[in-house]
C-alpha cells in the first residue's frame, strides 16, 4: 500500500527496549535507519535485569502510598533517579528532568478518586519515555516531536465493558500523516473528549500502536520487543526451538489463546481490521528476520506453524441417560453457566454426556459448588463430576484443514510420550487442533509434538 | 439370581423367527430345550424372503384401505392365507383359523378414530402369533397358555411424549412368576386402564420382552433374531467380521446410536434398569454363542468392542471474532435450535468458532434456511456455513478411557486410508471416540479401522 507516494511504518517499542540509556540509543538507531518509521509508540522503561522493577510498577507504588498517606519518598527518589540517569547518560538537557519532576508533582497535587488519580501516576512512565526519546532523536539530528496521544487523535470513551476508542478518532489520526518529522507518542493511555485520562486495561502500548497504525493507514506496524521472533513452541519447554517467519492473524490468535504471550493478541485488532501487517522485531538484534503477521499467506513450509499450551483448566462432566432426546438439555446447561457469569471454553458432547471445559479462574469464589448444585437440582443428571489440573495443547496452522494425517502425527507423538488424551477437539477450528491432557503430562507432550512436527521433517 | 428356587428366562422371538410354520417349529424346539424359558414374547410373522411383506405391513394396508373405503379384499385374503398356511402346516385345529378371522372381522366393525382403529389392525399380527405358538406348544406336549399383555400386567398410559408404562404394572407382572406352564405373550401392544389398545411406537416387541423380564425379575432376557451375534462392524462393509461375545449396556447404546440396528437400544431400558442381562441369539442357529449384554464386564480381549457408523449428518459452522468473550453466545445459538425444535448431536467449539452437528432429518422442511437466517440476524456472526453429507464413525469400548494410544491407532488407520477428518470428538464419552468424515470416505474408513483394531492383534 502506498498512499501519497510515501510508505509509512508505525514502530512500537516495549518496556525492555527502553529500560536504560543504552536501550534508548538502540531505539534511536533503529528509527534513524529507516525514514519510513514516522510514528514511534513507546512503553514505560521496563526491567534492566530480572530483579529490577518496571517503571510502571514503581509509579503504582508511589501513587498508592501517596494517596493513602503512607511513606512514599523512597519510590519518588527511585523514580526520579532512574529518569535522571537515563537523561544524563543520553547527554540531554537537565530541563527534561525538571519537566518530568514538575509533572510528577502536579499529578501528586491532583484531587481525584483513587482509580482516576492512579491512572495519572501510571501514565507518567510512557509519557516520560516519549519526551526523552523525542529529545534524544532531536539531539541526534532526527527531526522529532513528542505527541500527546489525544493530540494525535486518540479519543476515548468509557462504557460498561471498559475503555473504548471513539470511532471519530480515525479521522483525526489520518491528519497525523501530514506531520513532518518523527512523531513520538506515549502508549497505554489517552483522554476522553472531556479530558479525563484513561489507561488501557489490556495490551498496554501495543493497542496504542495498533490504533495509530490503523489511523495513519500504515504499511507496516513494527512491534519491537526483546525476542528475535515468535517461536514455534515455548522456549522454556523446548530448547532453541525454530522461529516462525510468517503467521496469519488467525494462527496468531489461536496461539495467543493458549499461552503464547509475545503480546496480547486482541491489542492488535485495530491493525488487523485494516489489513496492516504486523512485524515482531528485536530491538537488541534488529537485523534478525523477525516474525511477520499477515491476513493471508501462501502455504508455508510446514502445515503446522506452532504449538501452544496453557494450564489451569477444569472440566465439568455431566451424564444423563437419554440426554440426546431431551430437547434443550445443552442449552439449559449453558444457561446455568451464563447466569453464574461463567464463560466456557469448550463443550465436547457425547450421546448421553456433555463436558464443559472452563478456566479455573471461572470456578473461583465457590462457583464450582454453586454450579454443580444447580446442575444437579435443575437438570437431574445421572452424574456430575469436576476434574481439575487440565492443560490444553493447541497445534496451530492454516494448512491443517486440508492435510490428511495431521491428527495421526499428533496422536502418535502423544501416544509415544505416554500421554493420555482427556479430550481431542478437532474440526471446530479451521486452523487448530486441541488436546486436553493432564497438566503433569504437559512438558512431555509438547516436546514430543515439537519433535514430530518440526524436527522429523 | 434364583428367586424361589427356579431360574427364569424371558425369550423374545422377532418377526423372522415366526415368518412361517418351519420357523414356529424352530421356536417350539428352542422353548422345549430349556424349561427356564417360561415367558415367550412374540412378534408378528416377518418376511419369509426379501420380496415378502411383513404381516404388520399387510395389516396396516388392510386397515387403511378398509377405513378409507378403498379396495381391501386382496389384503384380507393374503393375511388369512398366510395365517391359514402356518396353522395348517403346524397341523393345528381349524378353530384357530376361525378364531383369528372372527377377531379380524370384529376389528373391522369397530367404530374408532383412524389412528386408534389402525392400532387394532396392527396388533392382530402379534396377537395371532402368540395364539398360534401357544397352541402349537400344547400340541407338542408343552403346557402353554396364550396370555394377553394386559392380563400379564402391562398397563399403559398416554401423555405428551407418547405411550408410557404405568409403574403399577411391575407389581402385577410379578404375579406372573407363579403361573404354571409357558406363557406366550404378544409383543408390541397392550391396553390402558380404561381398555384402550395402544401400540409402542419404538422397539416393538423388544420393549414388551424387556418389560416382562423386568416384571418377573428374570435371570436372563433372550432376544432371538436371525443373526448369530452382534458383530464388531457392519457385515455389509467388512466381510465376515468378528462377533462380539460380550458387551456392556453403555457400549451397546453407543453402537446403537450410530447404525447398529440389531434392535432399538432404548427398548431394552426396562431390562437394563433391573440389571437383567440380555442375550442376542439366532433362532436359526440356537447353538451359536450369541452376544451377551451386561451392566459390567471384565476388560475384554480388545479395548475396542465395535465400530459403528451412520450417515446423514450435516454441520452448521458459525464463526465470530472474539466469540469466546461473548458470554452467552453458545447458549443463544443452542436456544435458536431449541426454539426451532431441532436437536443437535454435537457442538465442537473453537476459540472463535462453534460447529453444530445435526442429523439431516432435523434440517428438513426448510429448517436449514430458517436457522441460518436466525443465526445471522440474532448473533451477527462473521460466517455461517452448512455442510452436508457427513458420516459419523464411532469406535466403542469400555477400555477406551484408560488406554493410551487408542486415538493414535484410530487416526493412523484413517490417515492410511486417506480419510480426512472433519471432526474428532474424544473425551466427552468414556466409552467411545467419534470421527466426523465425508460420507464418501465411509467404507474406506471403516475397513481400515477394522483392520487396525481387530485384525492386527
Could you tell me where the DSSP H helices lie in B113-203?
114-139, 149-152, 169-174
Q: Give the Cβ contact number of residue A133 at 10 Å.
A: 25
Kindly tell me the sign of the dihedral angle through the C-alpha atoms of B441, B447, B448, B452.
positive
- Partners of A420 on chain B (C-beta within 8 Å) are 402, 404
Helix orientation angle between A442-450 and A406-416, rounded to the nearest 10 degrees: 130
Cross-chain residue pair A327–B345, CB shorter than 8 Å: no
Bridge partners, residue B384, by sequence: B318
Which helix (H) or strand (E) segment holds residue A162: the answer is strand A162-165
Largest CA distance in chain A: 78
Q: What percent of chain A has pLDDT over 90?
A: 67
Cross-chain residue pair B351–A257, CB shorter than 8 Å: yes
pLDDT of residue B152: 95
Please state the rounded mean pLDDT for residues B405-411: 86
Residue B347: closest CA among B339, B337, A381, B393: B337
Which of A357, A406, A411 to mutate to probe the B interface, most B CBs <10 Å? A411
Q: With helix as H, strand as E and coil as C, how does B11-51 read?
A: EEECHHHHCCHHHHHHHHHHHHHCCCEEEEEECCCCCCCCC
Helix orientation angle between B95-108 and B73-89, rounded to the nearest 10 degrees: 160
Which helix (H) or strand (E) segment holds residue B393: the answer is strand B383-396
Residue B145: closest CA among B94, B95, B179, B182: B182
Band of pLDDT at residue B224, cut at 50, 70 and 90: very high
Distance CA A129, CA A18 (A): 7
Which of B256, B308, B326, B407 to mutate to probe the A interface, most A CBs <10 Å? B407
Rounded (5°) CA angle B60-B62-B67: 95
pLDDT of residue B322: 75
A286 contacts A30 by C-beta, under 8 angstroms: yes
Residue A43: closest CA among A12, A80, A77, A1: A12
Q: With helix as H, strand as E and coil as C, how does A330-396 read?
A: HHHHHHHHHHCCCCCCECCECCCEEEEEEEHHHHCCCHHHHHHHHHHHHHCCCEEEEEEEEEEEEEE
Please state the rounded mean pLDDT for residues B238-261: 82
**Chain A CA closest to residue B424:** A426
pLDDT of residue A260: 58
Q: Give the Cβ contact number of residue B384 at 10 Å.
A: 17
Helix orientation angle between A73-89 and A55-67, rounded to the nearest 10 degrees: 150
Please identify among residues 339-358 of chain A the ones whose CB lies closer than 8 Å to any CB of chain B.
341, 343-355
Cross-chain residue pair B418–A412, CB shorter than 8 Å: no
Picking from B412, B427, B430, the nearest residue to A424 by CB comes out as: B427
- Partners of B410 on chain A (C-beta within 8 Å) are 411
Distance CA B225, CA B388 (A): 34
pTM: 0.79
- Partners of A337 on chain B (C-beta within 8 Å) are 331
A237 contacts A447 by C-beta, under 8 angstroms: yes
Distance CA A297, CA B395 (A): 37
Cross-chain residue pair B257–A351, CB shorter than 8 Å: yes
Please identify among residues 283-342 of chain A the ones whose CB lies closer than 8 Å to any CB of chain B.
321-322, 324-325, 327-328, 330-331, 334-335, 337-338, 341
Q: How near does any CA of chain A get to the CA of B415, in Å?
A: 5
- Partners of A426 on chain B (C-beta within 8 Å) are 348, 421, 423-424
pLDDT of residue A278: 94
Q: Under DSSP, is residue A154 helix (H, G, I), strand (E, B) or coil?
A: coil
Cross-chain residue pair B428–A423, CB shorter than 8 Å: yes
Cross-chain residue pair A330–B327, CB shorter than 8 Å: no
Picking from A266, A349, A432, the nearest residue to B346 by CB comes out as: A349
Q: Under DSSP, is residue B332 helix (H, G, I), strand (E, B) or coil?
A: helix
B412 touches chain A (CB under 8 A): yes
Residues 6+ apart with CB under 8 A from A259: A234, A308, A309, A310
A419 touches chain B (CB under 8 A): yes
Which is higher by pLDDT, A114 or B302?
Answer: A114
A271 touches chain B (CB under 8 A): no
Q: How far apart are the two ends of chain A, measured CA to CA in Å?
A: 36
A359 contacts A319 by C-beta, under 8 angstroms: no
- Partners of A407 on chain B (C-beta within 8 Å) are 411, 414-415, 421, 424
Please state the rounded mean pLDDT for residues B133-141: 97
Distance CA A225, CA A188 (A): 16
Residue B12: closest CA among B246, B220, B275: B220
Picking from A254, A346, A418, the nearest residue to B349 by CB comes out as: A346
Band of pLDDT at residue B23, cut at 50, 70 and 90: very high
Kindly tell me the sign of the dihedral angle through the C-alpha atoms of A361, A364, A369, A370.
negative
Q: Give the Cβ contact number of residue B326 at 10 Å.
A: 14
* Three cell numbers, residue A126: 510512557
Q: What percent of chain A has pLDDT over 70?
A: 94
pLDDT of residue B407: 85
A266 touches chain B (CB under 8 A): yes
- Segments of chain A scoring below 70 in pLDDT: 1-6, 202-203, 258-265, 298-302, 324-325, 402, 428, 456-457
**Chain B CA closest to residue A253:** B351
Distance CA A267, CA A235 (A): 23
Distance CA B348, CA B356 (A): 7
Q: What is the DSSP letter of A113?
A: -
Residues 6+ apart with CB under 8 A from A128: A44, A55, A83, A100, A103
The count of residues in chain A is 457
B355 contacts A427 by C-beta, under 8 angstroms: yes
- Partners of B310 on chain A (C-beta within 8 Å) are none
Q: How near does any CA of chain B get to the CA of A207, in Å?
A: 16
pLDDT of residue B258: 60
Q: How near does any CA of chain B get to the CA of A46, in Å?
A: 30
* Three cell numbers, residue B337: 435450535
* Three cell numbers, residue B419: 480419510
Q: How near does any CA of chain A get to the CA of B332, in Å?
A: 8
Cross-chain residue pair B411–A412, CB shorter than 8 Å: yes
Cell 466403542 belongs to which residue? Answer: B396
Dump pLDDT digits (tens) for A281-308: 999 999 999 999 998 876 655 588 999 9
Task: Mean pLDDT check: name the lowest of A179-188, B99-108, B159-168.
Answer: B159-168
Residues 6+ apart with CB under 8 A from A184: A40, A42, A130, A131, A133, A134, A137, A144, A145, A146, A147
* Three cell numbers, residue B93: 385345529
Dump pLDDT digits (tens) for B373-391: 999 999 999 999 999 999 9
Distance CA A24, CA A3 (A): 30
Which of A161, A349, A351, A379 to mutate to probe the B interface, most B CBs <10 Å? A351
Cross-chain residue pair B415–A434, CB shorter than 8 Å: no
- B291-304 residues labelled b (16+ CB within 10 A) or e (exposed): bbbbeeeeebeebb
Task: Please compute Rg for chain A using Cα positions.
Answer: 25
Please state the rounded mean pLDDT for residues B214-232: 93
Q: Under DSSP, is residue B457 helix (H, G, I), strand (E, B) or coil?
A: coil
Picking from A402, A422, A432, the nearest residue to B350 by CB comes out as: A432
Q: What percent of chain B has pLDDT over 90?
A: 67
Q: Give the Cβ contact number of residue B453 at 10 Å.
A: 24
Amino acid at each position: 500500500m502506498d498512499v501519497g507516494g510515501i510508505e509509512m511504518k508505525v514502530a512500537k517499542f516495549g518496556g525492555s527496549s527502553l529500560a536504560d540509556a543504552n536501550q534508548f540509543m538502540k531505539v534511536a538507531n533503529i528509527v534513524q535507519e529507516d525514514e519510513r518509521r514516522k510514528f514511534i509508540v513507546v512503553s514505560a522503561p521496563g526491567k534492566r535485569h530480572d530483579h529490577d522493577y518496571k517503571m510502571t510498577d514503581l509509579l503504582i507504588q508511589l501513587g498508592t502510598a501517596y494517596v493513602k498517606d503512607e511513606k512514599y519518598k523512597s519510590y519518588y527518589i527511585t523514580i526520579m533517579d532512574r529518569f535522571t540517569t537515563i537523561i544524563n547518560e543520553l547527554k540531554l538537557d537537565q530541563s527534561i528532568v525538571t519537566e518530568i519532576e514538575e509533572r510528577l508533582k502536579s499529578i501528586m497535587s491532583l484531587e481525584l478518586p483513587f482509580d482516576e488519580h492512579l491512572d495519572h501516576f501510571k501514565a507518567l512512565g510512557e509519557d516520560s519515555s516519549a519526551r526523552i526519546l523525542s529529545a534524544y532523536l532531536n539531539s541526534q539530528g532526527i527531526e522529532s516531536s513528542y505527541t500527546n496521544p489525544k493530540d494525535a487523535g486518540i479519543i476515548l470513551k468509557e462504557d460498561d465493558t471498559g475503555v473504548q476508542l471513539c470511532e471519530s478518532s480515525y479521522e483525526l489520526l489520518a491528519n497525523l500523516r501530514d506531520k513532518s518529522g518523527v512523531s513520538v507518542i506515549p502508549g497505554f493511555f489517552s483522554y476522553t473528549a472531556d479530558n479525563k485520562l484513561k489507561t488501557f486495561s489490556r495490551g498496554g502500548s501495543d493497542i496504542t500502536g495498533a490504533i495509530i497504525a490503523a489511523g495513519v493507514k500504515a504499511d507496516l506496524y513494527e512491534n519491537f520487543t526483546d525476542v528475535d521472533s515468535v517461536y514455534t513452541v515455548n522456549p522454556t519447554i523446548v530448547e532453541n526451538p525454530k522461529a516462525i517467519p510468517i503467521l496469519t492473524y488467525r494462527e496468531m490468535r489461536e496461539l495467543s489463546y493458549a499461552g503464547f504471550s509475545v503480546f496480547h493478541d486482541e491489542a492488535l485488532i485495530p491493525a488487523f481490521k485494516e489489513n496492516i501487517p504486523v512485524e515482531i522485531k528485536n530491538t537488541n538484534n534488529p537485523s534478525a528476520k523477525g516474525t511477520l503477521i499477515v491476513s493471508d499467506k501462501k502455504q508455508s513450509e510446514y502445515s503446522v506453524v506452532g504449538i501452544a499450551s496453557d494450564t489451569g483448566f477444569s472440566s465439568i462432566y455431566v451424564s444423563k441417560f437419554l440426554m440426546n432426546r431431551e430437547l434443550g438439555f445443552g442449552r439449559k446447561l449453558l444457561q446455568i453457566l451464563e447466569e453464574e457469569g461463567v464463560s466456557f471454553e469448550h463443550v465436547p458432547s457425547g450421546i448421553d454426556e456433555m463436558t464443559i471445559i472452563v478456566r479455573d479462574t471461572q470456578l473461583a469464589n465457590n462457583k464450582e459448588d454453586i454450579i454443580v448444585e444447580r446442575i444437579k437440582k435443575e437438570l437431574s443428571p445421572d452424574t456430575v463430576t469436576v476434574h481439575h489440573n487440565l492443560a490444553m495443547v493447541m497445534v496451530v496452522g492454516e494448512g491443517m484443514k486440508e492435510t490428511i494425517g495431521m491428527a495421526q502425527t499428533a496422536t502418535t507423538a502423544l501416544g509415544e510420550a505416554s500421554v493420555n488424551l482427556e479430550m481431542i477437539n478437532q474440526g471446530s477450528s479451521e486452523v487448530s487442533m486441541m488436546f486436553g491432557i493432564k497438566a503433569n503430562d504437559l512438558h512431555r507432550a509438547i516436546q514430543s509434538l515439537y519433535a514430530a512436527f518440526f524436527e522429523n521433517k
